[in-house]
Every structure is written in C-alpha cells, then in structure tokens.
A = this chain, B = another copy of it.
Amino acid sequence: MGSESRIILASGSPRRRELLEKIGIEDFTVLADTSEEVITPGLSPEEQVIKLSLQKALNVAKKCNKNDIILAADTIVYLDSKPLGKPESYTDAISMLEELSGRKHSVYTGVTLLRDDKVISHAERTDVSFREVSGSEIEAYVKTGEPMDKAGSYAAQGRASIFIERIEGDFFNVMGLPLCKVSQMLKEFEVRL
C-alpha cells in the first residue's frame, strides 16, 4: 500500500456507486463492509444510522491507508418508530408495501466520512408519502424483483416512483446518499467536485 489518498466507498450498493458518479466522483474504490448490521434498541433513528455508518467506516478503515478518505452510509426506513429493513422474502416485501400504502414514512441515511483521526457523521431524514396502492399493484411490483434488496421494499428511482405522491427532503437520500450534504462534507476533506 502506498500513501496516495484514495476515496473508498464502504458500501456494496450499486445505487450509491451511481450517485457518487453522478456528482462527478469517478475515481473511487469500493470496499464493502460485510459484517452484519444490528439494530440497537433504544437509539433514535438518527443515532441508529449514524452508528451503523460509523461502524462500517471503521471496519473498512482497517483495510485502508492512513490517507484514504472513507465514505460509509446506512439507510433505514422508519414507519412510525418501527424500522423496516430489506425484505427477507416476497411475502415480507408484500406486507411492508401494504404497510406503507396511503401513509407517510421517513427514510434516514447516516453518512460517515473518515480519514485517519478526522471523522464527520451526519444523519439526513426524508419523508416519503405513498398514495393508496392496491393489492394487485403491490403484487405486480414485487414480481419485478425490484424490492428484494431495498430497505422498505421499494426503489424510489424505479417502478415504485408511481406510488410516491410526495417527498419532503433530499430525494437522493431515499436512494441511499444525501448528495447535497455529502458534497459539503467532502469539501471538509478537500475533495473538489
């Protein structure tokens, strides 16, 4: 390992990769943290996603250079105060989407930027309002396979766009990275966009 400074994306999500490229960062390395994510009871959504993003950043830092800038993120969907993770099965996806139908939920993404002993973390919340979605629409959507690897069982940028009546906050946060905030955090690490 040299001492050159790289940007490390500590996430296996192809959406996050796309989002980084969208804001003009093309030269980065993907090093996903594969350890299991555990929800800690008693934490607020903000504390929860910050904790998980920080853990990912610290785990990945062990495999990196001192000079590397590590970007880690964790997204959780909360309906009322209940966290919805990725669905474990088609049935699970259907019941999550039934719960989201006709209601507002919140998407939280925690982001951590870390280089050596400098750490910045941030939690961003976006509220998402689903229109009433019929059982047959949910079934057709789950059949596309799109929900299976997504927190809350939907992709805002995909076919589920027709379910989303309204959002309040950063749209890209729902996809997994709050781009406006991330771009400003990167400035703190002298990354020019």
Contacts and interface: CB of A to CB of B under 8 A. Distances in A.
For this chain, the copies found in one complex come to: 2
A92 interface: no
A184 to B, nearest CB: 8
Contacts of A158: 22
Nearest to A171: B171
A131 B161 CA distance: 25
Interface residues of A, number: 26
A172 interface: yes
A180 interface: yes
Contacts of A22: 157-159, 161
Interface of A: 22-24, 131, 156-159, 161-172, 179-180, 182-184, 193
A158 to B, nearest CB: 7
A128 to B, nearest CB: 10
Contact of A170 (B24, B157, B159, B165): B165
20 contacts: A22-B157, A22-B159, A23-B161, A23-B162, A131-B184, A161-B172, A161-B180, A162-B183, A164-B170, A164-B171, A164-B179, A165-B170, A165-B180, A166-B168, A166-B170, A167-B167, A167-B169, A167-B171, A168-B168, A171-B171
